[in-house]
Structures are given as structure tokens and as C-alpha cells.
Amino acid sequence: MGDQSAAKKPAVPAAPSDEVMIEIIDMHKWFGEFHVLQGINLTVKKKERIVICGPSGSGKSTLIRCINRLEEHQRGKIIVDGIELTNNIRNIEQIRAEVGMVFQHFNLFPHLTILENLTLGPIWVRKTPKRKAEEMAMYYLEKVHIAEQAKKYPGQLSGGQQQRVAIARSLCMEPKVMLFDEPTSALDPEMIKEVLDVMIELAQEGMTMIVVTHEMGFAKSVAHRVLFMDYGRIVEENTPEMFFENPRHERTKLFLSQILH
Amino acid sequence: MASAAQPTEREVLKPPPTSVGVVGWVRANLFNGFFNSLLTLATIFLLYKTVPPLIRWAFIDSVWHTGGQGCRQATGACWAVVTENLRFIIFGFYPYDQQWRPLTAMLLLFLLLFISRDRRYWKKSLLYTWVIGLTAMGILMRGGILGLQPVESTQWGGLPLTLLLSIFGLTAAYPLGVLLALGRQSQMKGIKTLCVVYIELIRGVPLISLLFMSSIIFPLFLPEGVTINKILRAQVAIILFTAAYIAEVVRGGLQGMPRGQYEAAEALGLNYYLTMRLVILPQALKIVIPPTVSILISAFKDTSLVVIIALYDVLKTTQSVLSNPKWMGFSPEAYIFVAILYFLGCFSMSNYSRKLEKELSTEEY
Ligand SMILES: Nc1ncnc2c1ncn2[C@@H]1O[C@H](COP(=O)(O)OP(=O)(O)OP(=O)(O)O)[C@@H](O)[C@H]1O
Ligand SMILES: [Mg+2]
């Protein structure tokens, strides 16, 4: 965990294992008549880190929200850690407890203190004793460098601090996968780095991560694979080096030229 | 603090002084501009014309202890109508020598309410305390055991009855209203329809007609020989009525909740019940404290409508005193007294809600 040499290295990704964490097979989703996801196939290994990018409205958020059933898919299969997502409520709750999610707008619970935000899941879902949950919460708050704010309310923190709390809140559930939906795009520029740093540290510890982001620096240093989505399909997928230097599809090239200007 | 002592720091600016004594305040608030000055003068004149005579009537020329005859000779208020009949106004037809029992019950109730003010005591133990307290009050009112002489509920009246109807009514209506609001938001069509129909039906009729129905029409459907206590029926009518209004207010609060809150809770693996209980309701109910308290206050006052089904609440006992020829004509004094009672109830409710809102606020530092 607190591996000194890892902290010095420029975040070289550890190799993913061979075990499958998430498997998505020919998954479709419609919003009414609108075909948002048009046959997604994706396998994520344990300890693998995937960055998803693509133009607005291409279905990135919808895709990762399907993985923890915040959106329901209508065709195909999603298997998370060996459990298939069906209408079975027990399965859904079990999967949600194993899959952490960080939102663009943090979504902290404003009526609870930072500490209470963090202990809510462990106490009520994992049935961890309160004392132990609080210890764990303080451990993760240290990790995101914000332990001194434990007694405050979310409304009293800056955006960057709130997002780090949100990450810690997910980590308190000791998830097997973390999903990030544009975690830095609601932040002021000077706060983006503090959040990305936390995410990079997380990556170094071997967390399985799926990150929707347009932070290409982050993708380069952390991702094993970058996926490009357009019109509800995964159009291109490659290692970050190949993806940025040698994009194959026209749409990818166009997108990259817009992002990197 | 020692701004001058720090050589390199920027000078610490204090906020400019806002008040310059009484004169400054008066000038800033009462005489800032021609129109406001005029208004202030007019108000002072009106107060001068009305307040001294009122004080003279209520306090200086008033009589406090005398029979009806003495009252007729007095030029001021005849508070004797209240003081001489206090026990009847407060306790109604409850047996005279037993009236210490409702009095004790009321004191117990006030004590419980007072303890419950403090949010630190909001624990399971408080719930048990209430259960024990309410049982004790019930035994005190009803009697029949522990050597207490039984008193039929038909003899209950006055302030205890008003408090019974309103406190029970409000505490039962609130959770019911929350459940109805949740039901109305439910994904399950059957539950949703049921709640919508209920809410709209109840809101479509005045409380008076519900009270009539519960006291006159409802018994017609009961089988021969079965009777349900009249107070209980009125109580149920009040609960059902108030709950529908609370439901709509709470629904407003629920709709105001951002979707991200539901999603964050669900993403943690909280089920529907826990999401509602731990994340959504605490916030939604807090937002709607002001309108909820308005409803509770008007429900409290509406309990006085039970006079029309011949329950002797505190307003009705006052009326009966006034219908006694000896005290006829002193209704202002008597009604002022009842108004003060109601005001104390309503005022403490709204006061408390403001305190609660402040305590629950998480915005300030
Ligand atoms: N609940 C919904 N109901 C109907 N349409 C929706 C809903 N959520 C998203 N959509 C539509 O689905 C499409 C994909 O949305 P999604 O949020 O997945 O895009 P995205 O790739 O995350 O875009 P962005 O970069 O703007 O976040 C969009 O066209 C959006 O309008
Ligand atoms: Mg999105």
C-alpha cells in the first residue's frame, strides 16, 4: 500500500491479471425509441484500468451506469465478478456494494458530516460496527489527504475536496471495481490535479478502474486501454500510446484533434 | 487580531461599524425618507389612540374575582368570567373531585413535549418514555384500575380533549402523510393509484364533512350493538384529513431532491428503504419544515371543529359558560382567554420549528 518506490515511479501501470472482473456481451440499451448503446462488448480484467472517451452524447455515462444498474440494459449480458445483472434485487444490491462509483457532481450527502458520509455504506450495507467503520473512514480520508475535514459538512468544502471525499466514500466499501464518470469536469482547473493525483495513487495500488474522462494526460500515465465511443458503439480501442499516436478511425482523429487542439 | 503588530501582513480590515446607538438606529429604520417618516408618525398616533384604552380596559378597570353581578358594574374587562369558571372551561364535565387527574396528565404531557424539544434525546429511549407516558396519561384519564374511579370518555372535555385530539392527531398524521407521499411516488402502479385517490378524495372535502361522516354516517354501517367511541372517531377523521395535506407537502420535498442523491445512495448498495430513511427523507423533510408546520398549526386549530359533533373541547366549554344567563355578555373576555390558549400552542409550534430548522442547517460554519 504505502509503497515508496511506487510513489516515485511515474505511475507505470502494473499488468492486469488474467481473471475477468467485468464482462459485457452484446449489450444494448434504449431510452424510449432512442438506441443509446448499440451492442457493447467489453471485458475488463482484474486490476485493469480503462479510460473511455468520446464526444458528448455518445453513451459513455450510460455504459458505466449500466455496470452498477443505475441504468437498466435491455439486451445482452453484463457479468460483474461472476454475478450476472438481472432483475434480481439481491444481485443488484450485492453488485452495487462491490462496485464503487464517483460522479461528476460528487453527490455527497449534504445533511451528513464527511465522516458520516463515509461510514453510511459500511454501517448499513456491510454491517460494520460503527467504531470500525469510523477507523476505516479516517484511514481513507488520510489517503485522499483530507482527514482534517472529517467533522465538516460537504457544503463547507471546495469542489476538489468534495470529489476526494466522494472517492473516499466509495473506497470505504472496499469495492472491487471503481467507476468514474468525468470526475474532474465539474472542477476548477486548479483543483483537477488534486483529484487526479488521488486517482493515480489508487491506480498504483492495483484498483480495477473504468474512467470516463477527457484528461488525456491521466489516460496516458494510468490506462492500460483507451476506448473511444461514438453513437453508442465502441469505435476504437487501443493502448494509450497507440491510441494517441496512431488513431485508426477518422472520427477518433477528429475527436483527438478537437480535444488536444 | 494584532494587525498593527504584524509588519509585513496585509492590514486586517474590520467590517465597518453598523450601528451608531439608538439615535442612529431610529434614523436608519424609522425616518429614512419622507414616506417612512410619515408612516412612523401615523403608526405612533394609532398606537397612542388604541393601546392606553386597551390597557385601561384589560388591567386597570377590570375585575378578576366576583360574581356576575359585580361584573355588570365594572367598567373594564370582566375576567371573572374566566377565573370563576376556569375549572369548567379547562376540564369540562370531568368529575369535579377527580380533576387533578387530567391536570396531572396534561402536566405529564407538557413535560414529555419539553424533553422532546432537545434533539440530543431523540433516541429509542425517548420513544419508550413516550409510550410509558401516554399509557400513564390514559390510565389517569380513564381510571378503573389502581383504585382510580372510572371516568367514561363521554365526560372528557375541555383542554385535555383539545390536546388529546391535536397531539395524537398530529403525531399520527405526520408519519401517515410521509407514507402516503412515498406511496404516491412509488413505481408500483397499484399503490400509487391508491395513494393518489385517497389524497385527492380527502382534500376534496372539508374537515367538517369528514367529522359528520365519522360521527353520523359511519355508525350506520356498523352492526347492531357495536359502537366505536365518539372521540376515537373524531380523532381518526382528523388524522386522515391532516395526513392527506402533509402527504402533498412532503411530496413537494421529495420532488425537490436531486436525482444524484438517489443514485449516490443506490451506488453504495443501499436498498430502497435505507435510501429513503437515511438519505432522502432527512433532507426532504427538512426542506418542507415550514409548510409542514403551517399544516400542523392549522390542524391544531381545526380540532375546534369537533364542537359540531357535540364534543366538549375547550371552545365548547367556554361557549357553555357564556350561555349561562349569569355570564351572558362577557364573551370578549372568555374568547380572548381561549385565543391566548390557542396562540400559546401555535406560537410554540412555529417557534420550535424555527429552532429546529436552524439546528438542522448544515450550511454555515
Ligand atoms: N434518462 C435519460 N432519458 C433519455 N435520454 C437519455 C437519458 N440519459 C441520457 N440520455 C441520452 O442518451 C445519450 C447518451 O447519454 P450519455 O449521458 O451516456 O452521454 P455521454 O457520452 O456521457 O455524454 P457527456 O459527455 O455529455 O456526458 C444522450 O443523447 C442523452 O441525451
Ligand atoms: Mg456523461
**CATH code of the domain in which B318 resides:** 1.10.3720.10
pLDDT winner (highest mean) among A215-219, B93-97, B313-317: A215-219
CA distance A105 to chain B (A): 8
> Which of B188, B268, B279 is the best residue to mutate to test the A interface, defined by the most A CB atoms within 10 Å of its own CB?
B268
Judged by a CB distance cut-off of 8 A, whether residue B126 touches chain A is no
Domain boundary among B114, B135, B150: B150
Query: Do B267 and B160 lie in a common domain?
Result: yes
In the predicted model, what is the mean pLDDT of residues B46-58?
88
Give the per-residue pLDDT at B5: 47
Question: What average pLDDT does the segment B227-241 reach?
Answer: 85
Our CA-based measurement puts residue B300 at a distance from the nearest CA of chain A, in whole angstroms, of 30
Higher pLDDT, B215 or B210: B210
Domain identity same for B233 and B116: no
Same domain? For B124 and B167 the reply is no
- Check whether residue B102 and residue B156 sit in a common domain: no
Q: Residue B9: what pLDDT?
A: 56
> Would an 8 Å CB–CB cutoff place A124 in contact with chain B?
yes
Residue B30 lies in a domain: no
Q: What's the mean pLDDT in B166-171? A: 86
Burial of B156 (0-12, 13-18, 19+ CB in 10 A): buried
To the nearest whole Å, the CA of A35 is away from the closest chain B CA by 22
Share of chain A above pLDDT 90, in %: 74
Nearest CA in chain B to A168: B268
Of all protein residues, the one whose alpha carbon is nearest to atom 3 of ligand 1 is A31
Q: Give yes or no for B270 touching A (CB within 8 A).
A: yes
Most confident of A31-35, B96-100, B155-159, B164-168: A31-35
Answer yes or no: is B157 within a domain: yes
| B192 in the same domain as B126 | no
User: Are B155 and B259 found together in one domain?
Assistant: yes
Q: Are B184 and B283 within one domain? A: yes
Mean pLDDT for chain B overall = 84
The average confidence (pLDDT) of chain A is 90
**Domain for residue B220, yes or no?**
yes
Both B166 and B277 in one domain: the answer is yes
Tell me what pLDDT residue A2 has: 41
Sheet holding A177-181, edge to edge: A99-102, A177-181, A208-212, A49-53, A225-230, A233-238
Residue-wise pLDDT tens digits, B270-308: 999 999 999 999 999 988 888 988 888 888 888 888 888
Which of A67, A109, A153 is best to mutate for the B interface (most B CBs within 10 A)?
A109
B181-204 average pLDDT score: 91
Say whether both B185 and B113 belong to one domain. no
Q: At A118, is the pLDDT very low, low, confident or very high (cuts 50, 70, 90)?
A: very high
Q: Does B363 touch chain A (CB under 8 A)?
A: yes
Residue B21 counted as domain residue: no
End-of-domain residue from the set B126, B150, B174: B150
How many structural domains comprise chain B? 2
Residues B309 and B296 reside in one and the same domain:
yes
Residues B261, B163 share a domain: yes
Helix, strand or coil for residue B12? coil
Cell 386522515 appears where? Answer: B240
| Predicted confidence (pLDDT) at residue B204 exceeds the cutoff of 70 | yes
**Interface contact A100-B261, CB threshold 8 A:** no
How high is the pLDDT of residue A79?
Answer: 93
Structure confidence by residue, pLDDT tens digits, B16-36: 766 667 777 888 888 888 888
Boundary-marking domain end, from B150, B165, B181? B150
**pLDDT tier at B248 (50, 70, 90 boundaries)?**
very high
A84-93, A197-206, B117-126, B182-191 — which is least confidently predicted?
B117-126
Q: Over the Cα atoms of chain A, what is R_g?
A: 18
Domain-embedded: residue B211: yes
Mean pLDDT, rounded, for A224-250? 91
pTM equals: 0.82
Question: Which ligand has the shortest distance to the CA of A37?
Answer: 1
Helices of type H across chain B: 21-29, 34-55, 68-73, 80-83, 86-91, 100-116, 124-142, 158-185, 189-203, 207-212, 218-221, 230-255, 259-267, 272-274, 281-287, 289-302, 314-322, 331-360
Q: Which domain holds residue B293?
A: 80-94+151-355
Q: Which of these ranges, A2-6, A80-84, B321-325, has the smallest mean pLDDT?
A: A2-6
Per-residue pLDDT band for A171 (boundaries 50, 70, 90) equals very high
Q: How far apart (Å, rounded) are the C-alpha atoms in residues A73 and A67?
A: 9
B278 vs A156: CB contact, 8 Å cut-off?
no
Inform me whether the C-beta atom of residue A119 falls under 8 Å from chain B C-beta atoms: no
Give the model's pLDDT for residue B18: 65
Residues, Cβ < 5 Å to ion ligand 2: A 61
* Same domain flag for B121 and B224: no
Contacts of B282 in chain A (CB under 8 A): 111
| Cα–Cα distance measured from residue A221 to residue B138, given in angstroms and rounded to the nearest whole number | 72
B127 falls within a domain = yes
Q: Is pLDDT of B49 > 80?
A: yes
Within a domain: B363: no
User: pLDDT value at position B67?
Assistant: 67
- State the complex-level ipTM: 0.90
Q: Is the pLDDT of residue A40 over 50?
A: yes
Assigned domain for B33 exists: no
